[in-house]
Amino acid sequence: MAAPATSEMLKRLRDSIVRKPPYESGTLPITPKDLILYFGKDKIAKRIDFSAPDDAQLEELAKSCERASFGLNNTDVIDEDYRKAGKLDAEHFATLLVPERTRLVDIVRNQLLEGEAAQRPLELELYKLNVYGEGSFFKSHKDTPRGESMFGSLVITLPTPHEGGALVLRHGGEEWTVDAATALAEAAAPSIAFVTFFSDVEHEVLPVTSGHRVTITYNLSYGDIASPAGSSAGPIPPVVPPVGEASFRTALEALLADPNFLKYGGKLGFGLRHVYPVHQRVLTGSTWKQGSLKHVYKLLKGPDALVHRVCTTLRLRVKLYLAYEDDRDDDYDPDDYEDEDVEDEDKEGGLFGVNLGGVPLVLVPDIPRANCEPDGDLAERLGGKFTNHPDPSRVEIDDHVQWVTEPKSLTKHATPVLAFGNEAQLEWQYADLCMVVSVGRANRRSTIRE
């Protein structure tokens, strides 16, 4: 049985993974010329100066918009119960505002991103202009990933007088509200308001109660995703160590130094806190190949990036998996596997604190093929391996994975999920992943071979 000191140290490790909100917002003073916007689909474009917009001009802008659709799986749907707003695609408007020439890129880099990610080249793609008149809104959704390198969105609110239309952001059971209307009314003119958030943050525009709310949206991507440095390449040391890195590292080092902790080596599991885009090969069934989660290593953000970076620095091998819950195993009954010798504490994940309720998990290293094995148990069908199975003979990952943080939600079966996005798209979908860290035996912890 474990020494209590080890379980206390593990608890400290878990508690040391700090989270900061997955968004950043504020107002930014701007030169008046950056508030000039041209719009229209005809030969002659109209011009509006947002430093002093009048209602008639805003009405004209609203009229030239199309009704905004949203993505429900692979179809673009117009449903005013879900999204009531006007939009212009990027080819139908032009703005002198170039985020790269303002502090906005710095803000994304240094306040949204952290550590290694903050050093990488960023790309901002102008996406859409949205106009919300009185009574307009956009219900809760996540922005559809448009490629493997997209990591977030930037929404700029132009300084038009309006009320309502606050943006509510939700992630990991927490909720934040950004009220650009109030922030702009209080800011020195001319200013814009901005919100930048990670792609897996759910967001909702509450109804506008008066005036016009005008936003310009950008898709944020990493510019270096095409030249993968490989997951095992040494991490680039961050210029500014991210929040919590030192405490996580200290807690992990303390555990590794304890000879009672995974005496013969083993695996530590971390459910990732963010979701990441994976290619929906389950649907296309075409281009399945090994290493289909490889791009995710370079997309890791916030606490996920921190765990990966510290483990790699301590020379522990890290691998990403999709975690599937085997909820279709009719033969499986946890009572069949009651083991008299196992202490209650261990049965509940005791030593490691995270109780997965004896759920047999299949860890899958690649996105499963569409035409995966029709027969056999879930592990065989998906090309994965069992862990956390109460029957030790079925546990194929060398050791039970000891979960430090629980996988957030387990993918059930290999079916696509119904997705509400801001654009119809099924090629890329968000997935919950987990990180498995291999730990060597007590006097030889390193699992990265030279």
Instruction: Tell me which residues touch Fe ion (CB under 5 A).
Output: 143, 422
Confirm if 129 and 88 have CB atoms less than 8 A apart.
yes
Separation CA 376–CA 19 (nearest Å): 40
Q: Does 324 bind ligand AKG (CB under 6 A)?
A: no
DSSP letter (8 states) at residue 143: P
* Interaction mask 401-430, ligand AKG, x per CB under 6 A: ---------------------x--------
Separation CA 441–CA 264 (nearest Å): 4
439 binds, among ligand AKG, Fe ion, none (CB under 5 to 8 A by kind): none
Omega of the bond leading into 374 within 30 degrees of 0 (cis): no
Q: Does 146 bind ligand AKG (CB under 6 A)?
A: no
Separation CA 414–CA 416 (nearest Å): 7
Cβ at position 49, least distance to ligand AKG in Å: 21
Helix ranges (H only) for 295-376 are: 302-313, 344-347
- Residue from 279, 298, 437, 433 nearest 370 by CA: 279
- Residue from 217, 249, 318, 245 nearest 20 by CA: 245
Pick 172 or 358: Cβ nearer Fe ion: 172
58 binds, among ligand AKG, Fe ion, none (CB under 5 to 8 A by kind): none
Give the alpha-carbon dihedral of 342, 346, 351, 356, to 10 degrees.
160
Cβ at position 154, least distance to ligand AKG in Å: 10
Pick 113 or 155: Cβ nearer ligand AKG: 155
Q: Does 69 bind ligand AKG (CB under 6 A)?
A: no
Near ligand AKG in 212-241, by CB under 6 A: 215, 217
Cβ at position 432, least distance to ligand AKG in Å: 22
Separation CA 69–CA 286 (nearest Å): 29
Pick 187 or 442: Cβ nearer ligand AKG: 187
Q: Which residue is nearest to ligand AKG (CB)?
A: 422
Task: Out of 143, 200, 326, 406, name the contact with ligand AKG by CB under 6 A.
Answer: 143
Cβ at position 73, least distance to Fe ion in Å: 16
Q: Does 352 bind ligand AKG (CB under 6 A)?
A: no
Question: Which element (helix H / strand E) includes 181?
Answer: helix 180-186
Question: How many Cα neighbours within 13 Å face the side chain of 394?
Answer: 20
For binding to ligand AKG (CB under 6 A), which residues are involved? 128, 130, 138, 143, 155, 167, 203, 205, 215, 217, 422
